[in-house]
Structure 1
Amino acid sequence: MHLVNSTSLDALPHGPERRAAELAAARIDAINLRQQHWTGGLTTLFHRFDVLCFGWDAQHERQIARLIDMGIDAVYSDFVDRMVAVVATFAGDFRPAVSDEGD
């Protein structure tokens, strides 16, 4: 079971660092924010607390690429073909989520 806090920056009255600490203390696996709210610094902040970063509403290739480039852990989009195309440009940086080798 994985637990994800799906929220917005506006819903964090004490700021993202406090939320990151709270999520880590509660053993919540990830935070999910709309794609335009993510920055490289925000990604780094949550990663320091071992909280995964998920970005949703990435509908355009430039949005998907921006999220990947900043180290996001998961991307949500309505367009599978666009996600696959962008991930292919970062191919050397990825490993498959599921191995066919039976590991």
Structure 2
Amino acid sequence: MIGFAHRGAPAPHQRENTLPAFRRALAGGASGLESDAWLTADGVPVLHHDGVLGPPGRQRRITELTVDRLPGWLPTLASFYAELGTSFEFSLDLKGPAGGWADAADAVLAVTRAAGGSAAAARLWLCGNLPELAAYRSRDPDVRLVNSTAMANVESGGGIDAYGARLRAAGVAALNLRTREWTPSRAGIAAALHELGLAAFGWDAQRTATLARLAGYGLDAVYSDHLRRLVRVTGSVIDARTGHNP
């Protein structure tokens, strides 16, 4: 099971979505990292959650700023890879203006492949809604796409078998549901997805008992803010050559 450190799973008093937070998560044994990607006004992918900088009354949107006007602590995707390498799973929510998902995906993939080629792209998971993902598949046949949605959409789409078939037809690799929607009565959903060749993800898994429950359901990945709990359940990354965390 992949353990995605949500926004780097920052320690107390440490800023999220920063290189120190991501570096700490990998050093602590996380097998994956999670963040959000925005494009600057000059088309550079950067990692930030809500895309707004500055104090109230003086806020500016990242999409309105060129990369040279961003604060030094805010990482570009290129600096992220330059600092951390590409030997981990990486989940990205793509943000920005309506209709801009595909442009953000193109920019992210260009940087990712420049940093680590096809191997880096194979460890990248791009999250979005089903229409965005289905429309994008023809533009890039290889990148792994994740449908982040709610059970209400799955149920209104005919249930897990019918919805899963739609995901498979669209070339989507995984279904991502919030942890509270992975209830005991829905524990069989992961197995149903696996039968269709799809992965099952769960986000917002914060407690050790919750993480263990999702592991018991057979989920393929979880997202958490709590690094030690995440690694305790999912296991840490071990370098086969050294026997230690990379």
TM-score class, shorter-chain normalisation, is 0.7 to 0.9
Q: Which has more helix, going by share of residues?
A: 1
Q: CA deviation at 1:36?
A: 2.3
The answer as to 2:146 corresponding to 1:4 is yes
1:47 has 2:189 as partner: no
Structure 1: runs of 5+ lacking an equivalent: none
C-alpha deviations, 1:2-60, integer Å up to 9, x for none? Answer: 10000010122122211111111111100000112223311111111011000001010
More strand by share: 2
- Structure 1 length normalisation: TM-score? 0.81
Q: Distance in 1 between matches of 2:169 and 2:239?
A: 31
Opposite residue 41 of structure 1, the aligned amino acid is G
Q: Distance in 1 between matches of 2:222 and 2:239?
A: 20
- Residue 22 of structure 2 corresponds to none
Q: Percent identity?
A: 38
Which residue does 1:83 correspond to in 2? Answer: 230
Runs of 4+ in 1 over 2 A off after TM superposition: 98-101
SS of match in other structure, 1:3: strand
Cα distance, 1:51–1:99 mapped onto 2, change above 3 Å? farther
How much is the aligned-residue C-alpha RMSD, in angstroms? 1.9
Structure 1 residues 99 and 24, CA gap change in structure 2 (3 angstroms): farther
Unaligned runs of 5+ in 2: 1-142, 242-246
The reply to whether residue 26 of structure 1 matches residue 170 of structure 2 is: yes
Matched, 1:57 2:199: no
Match status 1:17 vs 2:164: no
Partner of 2:181: 37
Q: So what's the TM-score if we normalise by structure 2?
A: 0.36
**What amino acid maps onto 1:11 in structure 2?**
N
Structure 1 residue aligned with 2:106: none
Equivalents in 1 of 2:166, 2:177: separation in Å? 16
